Amino acid sequence: MRILIVEDEPTLRAQLRTGLTEAGYAVDEADNGRDAHYLGDTEAFDAVVLDLGLPVLDGLSVLKRWRDAGRAMPVLILTARDNWSEKVAGIDAGADDYLTKPFHMEELLARLRALIRRASGLASPVLQCGALALDTRSGRVTLGGQPITLTSHEYKVLDYLMHRPGTVVSRTELTEHIYAQDFDRDSNTIEVFVGRLRKKLPPELIETVRGLGYRLVAP
Amino acid sequence: MISGWRWPGSLRLRLLGATLVTLALALAGAHAWLGGLFRDHVLRQFDTTLVLQLDQLTARLEFDAQGQPLIDPRSLSDPRLDKPYSGLYWQLDRMSPGGQTRVGVLRSRSLWDTQLALSADALADGDLHTHDGLGPQGHAVRIVERSLAVPEQPQARWRLMVAADTREALAAADDFNGVLAASLAGLGALLALAALAQVAVGLAPLKAMQRALQQVRQARTARLEGRFPAEVQPLIDDFNGVLDRNAEVVGRARTQAGNLAHALKTPLAVLGNAAAQVPGNDLAPLVAEQVQVAQRHIQWHLARARVAASQGLPGQRTPLQPLLAGLLRVMGTLHAERGLDIAAADMPADLAFAGEEQDLQEMLGNLLDNACRCARGAVHVHAVREGALLHIVVDDDGPGIAPAQRADVLQRGVRLDESTPGSGLGLAIVVELAALYGGALTLDTSPAGGLSARLTLPAAA
């Protein structure tokens, strides 16, 4: 899952990057409204953490422009402004959640997980596909109740696929959502991760749709 | 100067009083002056007629061979002189040098058997004197006399007089006075009406101003609206200037309080995260706790500063419905994960809070947020107006709060459930804000067994 962090305070931005990367997200950053708008408009993100008080272009304007352009990714506003009037303005501008500073990183992560899950139309924090279960809260993957150990990249691929059960996901899409923008992307590595996953999981779980991509199917 | 006396409190009474008193004095003066003038004129005319009569008599006065005076009555033109007590009389007196006067040597037939009594008078020859005296039947008469000396009788002096009853002439003057009084009274009444109209028209802008102020006080407008006469408009402009400045000062105070809070919160967030992200950091719990304390202080004082800034500002009116709708949208989004049924009962569109929009938003936002955190499945809001009070009730179906603990949770920083996020300030801030508006927050048990929070606030007209 790929997240855009928009925060102008460098230390806090670094902390957010650390916290989100450790939680297994691919992270892109912007420190002003204009760059944030451009990134959100041109790249595929699974969620955005958006500060409101930003240089060049304020957060609410960025959010409105995205929504006006039909960009529907979940946006969590992370701001020091904690008036209810500001929250109303934020939600009415198209935000999906609102968290005020100072905050606990755990709470931010929990809310992001919920946002991403709800955006995929999933209700439970534990994603199921047949005997396979992925607990988004703990990052634990089990097969028939038995824990399975995955590397960080394997987890990212499986996590993305499990958020879209039954949907064909192209390699490009997987690449876009697993790596940050400045990462040297190579879609061939995706094949490697999928191959490894097939060895750890029932092989028929991840189906290859020729010429289109991969699909997670419950046996 | 009359000490202790003051003008009456009403401007209308002052203006009317001063105008009417002046008017009455002026009209009374005019009546006296014009009446006197007419009376003088009538009497002058009267005298002129008498003098004409006297001239005619003087011309007809003859002396016979014995030196006896003689006036032939037939030679006199006025028939009244022949009719007894007709009101027009003449008489000739002879004044001897020794001071003896023979009254009524000759007299008109109209005097019948009476005489005109006139005090002794020293007149130069040919001089005229006018007297007021009494006639034959005791009626007031005007007498014009002339002293004569004739060459035939150098030792004797004659006094010829004509008298006429003044009643008719004076009655005419009185009639005129009556008509004059009636006319002036009519004029006075018209002028009084005009003065009333003038005062009403003149003071109308003050009434309009009062209405405009009332609109501001009832929070229907933020400024005094309408065009006023040139004499009042500067006052209106100045007053609007004060209102604008007040609002601006409040806005600036809020912004500055907000800016300070925002400026502090980001470093606090950095500090808290930094402590938490270093593995095995013993200080992490302490830092987290102190960050929490600092955050509470900021939140508490920011909320207070915001309200204190807007206290006493006139013209505040916040309609409830749209504000509640906005907050319900926010609650639906913020608590989307819980799938709550969050709804407001139908309420009259004109329900409004007599206070600042952000303050109501803070109070209701905190109450709703609290209810959504605690609710199992539903949060319901309803509002009614009772007289000057607006009651907003937020019910949830959560575990509720035991009556014994209700007083505690309204205190600053007390949290019954440490497992849910929040500063523990929400309800205390609501209590504080409501109190600043003279309102209150009371807790009860909701129909679904959860908490029912009733917020009572001043209602706007």
**Helix or strand (DSSP H, E) at B343:** strand B341-344
Q: Which of B262, B273, B372 to mutate to test the interface with A (most CBs of A within 10 A)?
A: B273
Q: What are phi and psi of B113, to 5 degrees?
A: -110, 20
* Cis peptide upstream of residue B403 (ω within 30 degrees of 0): no
pLDDT of residue B189: 94
What is the torsional sign of CA B77, B81, B86, B92? positive
Are residues A174 and A213 in contact, defined by beta-carbon separation less than 8 angstroms?
yes
Q: What is the CATH number of the domain that holds A212?
A: 1.10.10.10
Q: Which of B167, B168, B114, B121 is nearest to B144 (CA)?
A: B121
State both tokens at B238: 């100045």
Give the CA diameter of chain B.
167
CA-based Rg of chain B, rounded to a whole angstrom?
51
Residues of B with Cβ-Cβ distance to A98 under 8 angstroms: 330, 333-334
So what's the architecture of B316-461 in CATH? Answer: 2-Layer Sandwich (3.30)
Express each pLDDT in A104-139 by its tens digit: 899 999 999 999 998 888 878 898 888 899 998 888
Residue of B nearest to A118 (CA): B337
Same domain, A31 and A130: no
Segments of chain B assigned to CATH 3.30.565.10:
316-461
Residues of B with Cβ-Cβ distance to A105 under 8 angstroms: 273, 276-277
Please name the residue that has the structure tokens 């102008």.
Answer: A8
What's the CA gap between A104 and B426, in Å, rounded? 18
Strand partners, A21: none
CA B416 to chain centre: 59
Please name the residue that has the structure tokens 């007629």.
Answer: B49
Instruction: Give percent of chain A above pLDDT 70.
Output: 99
Same domain, A15 and A88: yes
Residues of A with Cβ-Cβ distance to B327 under 8 angstroms: 84, 88
Is B291 in CB contact (< 8 Å) with chain A? yes
**Helix or strand (DSSP H, E) at B62:** strand B62-63
Is A137 in CB contact (< 8 Å) with chain B? no
What is the torsional sign of CA B305, B308, B313, B315? positive
Question: Which among A18, A83, A102 has the least Cβ separation from residue B265?
Answer: A102
Same domain, A10 and A112: yes
What's the CA gap between B240 and B237, in Å, rounded? 5
Strand, helix or coil for residue A172: helix
| Residue A152 reports pLDDT greater than 90 | no
Same domain, A56 and A132: no
Cβ B270–A96 below 8 Å, yes or no?
Answer: no
Strand order in the sheet with A206-209: A168-169, A213-216, A206-209
Same domain, A134 and A106: no
Cβ A104–B334 below 8 Å, yes or no?
Answer: no
Same domain, A133 and A193: yes
The last residue of one of the domains, among A119, A140, A167, is A119
Is B177 in CB contact (< 8 Å) with chain A? no
Express each pLDDT in A87-97 by its tens digit: 999 999 999 99
Q: What is the CATH number of the domain that holds A111?
A: 3.40.50.2300
Q: Which of B66, B63, B52, B49 is nearest to B92 (CA)?
A: B63
| Residue A165 reports pLDDT greater than 80 | yes
Strand, helix or coil for residue B308: helix
Give the mean pLDDT of chain A: 90
Residues of A with Cβ-Cβ distance to B268 under 8 angstroms: 101-102
Strand partners, B379: B342, B396
Same domain, A64 and A130: no
pLDDT of residue B395: 95
Residue A108 structural domain: 2-119
Count CB pairs under 8 A between chains A and B.
Answer: 93
What's the CA gap between B114 and B159, in Å, rounded? 17
Cβ B362–A83 below 8 Å, yes or no?
Answer: yes
Q: Which of residues 88-107 of A touch B (CB under 8 A)?
A: 88, 91-92, 95-98, 100-105, 107
Residues of A with Cβ-Cβ distance to B357 under 8 angstroms: 85
Are residues B48 and B39 in contact, defined by beta-carbon separation less than 8 angstroms?
no
Are residues A31 and A8 in contact, defined by beta-carbon separation less than 8 angstroms?
yes
pLDDT of residue B310: 60
Cβ B266–A101 below 8 Å, yes or no?
Answer: yes
Same domain, A6 and A51: yes
Is B357 in CB contact (< 8 Å) with chain A? yes
The angle at the Cα of A182, spanning A179 to A187, to the nearest 5 degrees, equals 45
What's the CA gap between B168 and B139, in Å, rounded? 11
Is B226 in CB contact (< 8 Å) with chain A? no
Is A12 in CB contact (< 8 Å) with chain B? yes
Q: Which of B255, B265, B363, B372 to mutate to test the interface with A (most CBs of A within 10 A)?
A: B265
Q: Whole-model pTM? A: 0.65
Are residues A4 and A28 in contact, defined by beta-carbon separation less than 8 angstroms?
yes
Are residues B148 and B57 in contact, defined by beta-carbon separation less than 8 angstroms?
no
Cβ B277–A81 below 8 Å, yes or no?
Answer: no
Residue of A nearest to B358 (CA): A85
Q: Which of B187, B186, B198 is nearest to B16 (CA)?
A: B198
pLDDT of residue B297: 83
The last residue of one of the domains, among A87, A102, A119, is A119
What's the CA gap between A107 and A94, in Å, rounded? 21
Same domain, A79 and A111: yes
Single-letter code of the amino acid located at B132: D
Are residues A189 and A174 in contact, defined by beta-carbon separation less than 8 angstroms?
no
Strand partners, A213: A209
The last residue of one of the domains, among A87, A104, A119, is A119
| Residue A182 reports pLDDT greater than 80 | no
Q: What is the dihedral of CA A17, A18, A22, A26, to 10 degrees?
A: 20
Same domain, A149 and A174: yes
Cβ B266–A84 below 8 Å, yes or no?
Answer: no
**Helix or strand (DSSP H, E) at A47:** strand A47-50
pLDDT of residue B1: 45
Question: Which among A11, A88, A114 has the least Cβ separation from residue B326?
Answer: A88
CB atoms within 10 A of CB A53: 18
List per-block mean pLDDT (blocks of 10 residues) for chain B, which spans 461 residues. Answer: 62 89 95 94 92 91 84 86 91 80 87 83 77 87 87 80 90 92 95 92 88 80 85 90 86 80 84 81 83 83 71 76 93 90 91 89 92 93 94 94 83 55 69 87 92 93 77
Strand partners, A126: A135
Q: Which residue has the higher pLDDT, B396 or A203?
A: B396
CB atoms within 10 A of CB B386: 9
DSSP state letter for B437: T
Q: Which of A78, A85, A117 to mutate to test the interface with B (most CBs of B within 10 A)?
A: A85
Express each pLDDT in A27-82 by its tens digit: 999 999 999 999 999 999 999 999 998 999 999 999 999 999 999 999 999 998 88
Same domain, A86 and A181: no
pLDDT of residue B413: 55
pLDDT of residue A30: 96
State both tokens at B439: 């309102």
